[in-house]
Amino acid sequence: MTEFAADRLLLFGATGDLSRRKLLPSLCALDADGLLPENLAIIGTARSDIDDAAFRDMARAALEEFLPAERRGGMATFLNRLSYQQLDASTLDGFDTLAAKVAAAGSETGSDAESGGLAIFLSTAPSLFGPTIAGLEHAGLTGERVRMCLEKPLGTNLETSAQINDAVAAAFSEDRIFRIDHYLGKETVQNLLALRFANILFEPIWNANVIDHVQITVAETVGLEGRVTFYDDAGALRDMVQNHMLQLLALVAMEPPTSFDATAVRDEKVKVLRALRPALANETVTGQYRAGAVEGQAVPGYDEELGKDSATETFTAIKAHVDNWRWKGVPFYLRTGKRLPERVTEILIQFRSVPHSIFGGSDAGNAGAGLQPNSLLIGIQPDEDITLSLMAKVPGLDEDGVRLREVPLQIKMPDAFVGQHRRIAYERLLLDLIKGDQTLFVRRDEVEAQWEWVDAIRAEWEAHGITPKPYASGNWGPSAAIALAERDGVSWHE
Ligand code: BG6
């Protein structure tokens, strides 16, 4: 960890969608809570030819649209931190002017990029990563006190991801590179670590002896959202599984790290990612949404939104295996898709049945009827609930034997922490970037292990000529996804 708090934050892609929706609102919210370094200057840069005042106007409009009114308290102070420099990052030409602007932004405290500290956030098309880094090097903006933060997509496969990583590594050491996976910024995702490692209850049973299988669902109701080119080149596997879902899987499956620090946590995650067994074609399902209705609204099909036919998957379900002692024989069922019936991200830990029922058989009508294996449901979003399903005796005189029923032991996080902000994931990540804590950022070896597994799936799809099966919007993907689990006697949690 590089020990300094940045006094300048340079945002590439500052007028773009991510900046308007997430980055500027997150920074403003942090500022309102007094969490940004007092002297932090934020310099935006993008292709648009606007001046400081116009950038502040754009930022104000974005904050009014995307930040709840009660969190906009410090907006005026925040807007004063902002300045802007137009730049075409594809050529070296403007980088000297940019460097002068960056230096000027730090001048009040008498710091330059070397004595203060600069955090750079690249939220641009990946094709600009290489030229941007060349420009930064040319302008002397890659020194020891400069951190580089990268937004996905980091490539489209292992090879292109390695090219990007090589280009970044040529200018920045790994301890100064911050790769974002915004799921790691979510409070509920971090809470997985607290659940597993701050409670003695779970760790002794967190293995193949007691766990039957794990399900990870990331369901969205949205469709293409106008991201025509990006999404059609990516598809659900690269857009969601390669990063967010594999990070969730790694947090569920990893061994206890020795401490909550960047090296220890990431060392354990990467071991899991490397232990993933290459999935076979028949362990995967792909789908593409057609017209249908989501939450009562009629919606068009993917091909209609796109304006052409496409072989890109908007849904995928995968039966994954982690080949190590702890998880021997425990499938991890992953599924994600767009235009599904509801927006939900959740993890289900399905435990095994008790080895012997003292209450007799479990057939309906018999004594002991109703005996079910326990499960633990971890809601990530929108509901932040943890629900442990336990068996209980149905009240009664038991003349025909004890009858059992599943009852939930439920914690609703917002109720448990009333009055605490539910922060935007980027608030945490931006603050960690400014301070230099890499724990919630993805290390190069993790990204590469993720790509290796995903590339092998794509290769399987190609080798077997697999194309996405249609599903009507508002359904849980194609019926083959249900069959994927059902042939193991498993039902997806719904
Ligand atoms: C992004 C994907 O990384 O995550 C999007 O590119 C997706 O396609 C989004 O919609 C989901 O994020 P969240 O935080 O809304 O679950």
Paired tokens of 200: 């003695």
pLDDT at 362: 52
- CA 412 to centroid of ligand 1, rounded, Å: 23
The predicted pLDDT at position 151 comes to 92
Residue 295, pLDDT score: 94
- pLDDT the model gives residue 111: 44
If you write DSSP's letter for every residue of 320-355 in order, what string do you get? Answer: E-B-STTTTT--EEEEEESS-SS-EEEEEEEEPPPS
The pLDDT score that the predictor gives to residue 322 is 98
Dihedral over Cα of 431, 436, 439, 445: its sign: positive
* Contacts by residues 171-177 (CB-CB < 8 Å, ≥ 24 positions apart): 171/133, 171/136, 171/137, 171/142, 172/142, 172/146, 172/147, 172/148, 174/443, 174/444, 175/1, 175/2, 175/438, 176/2, 176/144, 176/146, 176/147, 176/148, 177/147, 177/148, 177/149, 177/150, 177/441, 177/444
Tell the residue nearest (CA) to atom 8 of ligand 1.
239
Q: How far apart are CA 322 and CA 273, in angstroms?
A: 8
SS3 for 135-182 is: HHHHCCCCCCCEEEEECCCCCCCHHHHHHHHHHHHCCCCHHHEEECCH
The pLDDT of residue 189 is: 95
Exposure of 428 by Cβ count < 10 A (0-12 exposed, 13-18 middle, 19+ buried)? buried
The answer to whether the CB of 220 is under 6 A from ligand 1 is: yes
Q: Rounded to whole angstroms, how far apart are CA atoms 240 and 454?
A: 11
Q: Name the DSSP class of 128.
A: G
427 lines ligand 1 (CB under 6 A): no
pLDDT at 229: 82
The whole-number pLDDT of residue 226 equals: 82
Q: What is the pLDDT of residue 4?
A: 86
- Tell me the best of 18, 151, 239 to mutate to test the pocket of ligand 1, counting ligand atoms within 8 Å of each CB and taking the most: 239
Cβ 352 vs Cβ 489: under 8 Å: no
Phi, psi of 96 (to 5 degrees): -65, -40
Cα(85) to centroid(ligand 1), Å: 29
Looking at 352-473, which runs of residues are DSSP E strands? 375-381, 385-393, 404-412, 469-472
Which residues, at least 6 apart from 133, have a Cβ–Cβ distance to it below 8 Å? 142, 148, 167, 168, 170, 171
For residue 153, the model assigns a pLDDT of 86
Q: Give pLDDT < 50 ranges for the chain.
A: 108-114
Nearest 5°: the CA angle 292, 343, 254 is 130
Q: How far is CA 438 from the centre of its chain?
A: 15
Q: Is the CB of 346 under 6 A from ligand 1?
A: no
pLDDT at residue 366 in the model = 54
Q: Which amino acid type is present at position 51?
A: D
**Rounded to two decimals, what is the model's pTM?**
0.95
pLDDT of residue 2: 60
Nearest to 446 by CA among 303, 248, 229: 248
356 is catalytic: no
Catalytic member of 244, 421, 464, 493: 244
Q: 332-337 and 315-320 as β-strands: parallel, antiparallel, unpaired?
A: antiparallel
Q: Give the model's pLDDT for residue 114.
A: 46
Mutation to probe ligand 1, out of 182, 238, 423, 424 (largest number of atoms < 8 A from CB)? 182
